[in-house]
Structure 1
Amino acid sequence: MLIGELAGRTGASQRSLRYYEEQGLLRAERDANGYRRYTTESVRVVARIRALLAAGLSTDVIRTVLPCVDGAEALEIDLCPELVRTLRRELAELDARIDAMRRSRGALAAYLG
């Protein structure tokens, strides 16, 4: 299928699909004229990518996590040791950002009395 059809099936923009390919998350074959050709599996891959992005993971992290992910609608994750380390690191970083935001919020609220 061409990029427009994949975009229509997944709800992802063509620009996003090109970006996923640039980031090494999505593969496409090229026709002689340079058009991208995607397989039906690409629909599931895009669903996985979008779900992982919605969970707050960066494309760098998704690149390492994607081989451990199965399913499309409800993600099934194979918790291989590398993935566990990656997800724990991401959670720790997220917790640190939440703590910093709580401190900032407290300071702003204090200014308001």
Structure 2
Amino acid sequence: MRIGELAARTGVSVRALRYYEEQRLLVAERSPSGQRVYPDSAVDRVSMIQHLYAAGLPSKAIEPLMPCVMSGEVTPELLKRLRAERQRIDERIGDLVGTRDRLDSIISVAAAYEGGVCPR
């Protein structure tokens, strides 16, 4: 499939797909006329890249993980990286839960004074 079709199927911009190629996260073949051509498996790969970005991983951290994530190839080094990223995500989740809990507390106090003046 061409880059426009991959963009449409994944909801990712053409510019982002080109960036993924620059970062070696995505590989395209070239047609005789020089156009990018992606295999059907690129849809799943782009989805995984998006999930890893959403989890807060930078492209430099994603690139070495992709062989393991996509094919199941596991080396001790990749397993170590995956565990480190999982730990980082767990810490981020903990931070977000704490922030949400503080926000809930503020909402509860503010709701008691809805329409009036909330004490500081």
Q: Report the TM-score when normalising by structure 1.
A: 0.68
Q: Structure 1 stretches of 5 or more lacking a match?
A: 72-76, 103-112
Show the 5 A alignment for 1:7-22. Answer: 7-22=7-22
Residues 86/42 of structure 1: CA separation in 2 closer, same or farther (3 Å cut): same
The alpha carbon displacement at 1:31 in A equals 1.6
Instruction: Give me the CA root mean square deviation.
Output: 2.8
The alpha carbon displacement at 1:17 in A equals 0.4
Name the structure 2 match of 1:39.
39
Show the 5 A alignment for 1:82-101. Answer: 82-90=77-85, 91=87, 95=91
Which has more radius of gyration?
2
Residues 79/55 of structure 1: CA separation in 2 closer, same or farther (3 Å cut): farther
Moved over 3 A (4+): 77-80, 87-96
The alpha carbon displacement at 1:88 in A equals 4.0
Q: Deviations over 1:64-102 (max 9, x none)?
A: 11111149xxxxx77642233213444359859x6xxx9
Show the 5 A alignment for 1:1-113. Answer: 1-70=1-70, 80-90=75-85, 91=87, 95=91
- Aligned length, in residue pairs: 97
Q: Structure 2 stretches of 5 or more lacking a match?
A: 100-119
Percent identity at matched positions?
Answer: 47
Residues 4/84 of structure 1: CA separation in 2 closer, same or farther (3 Å cut): same
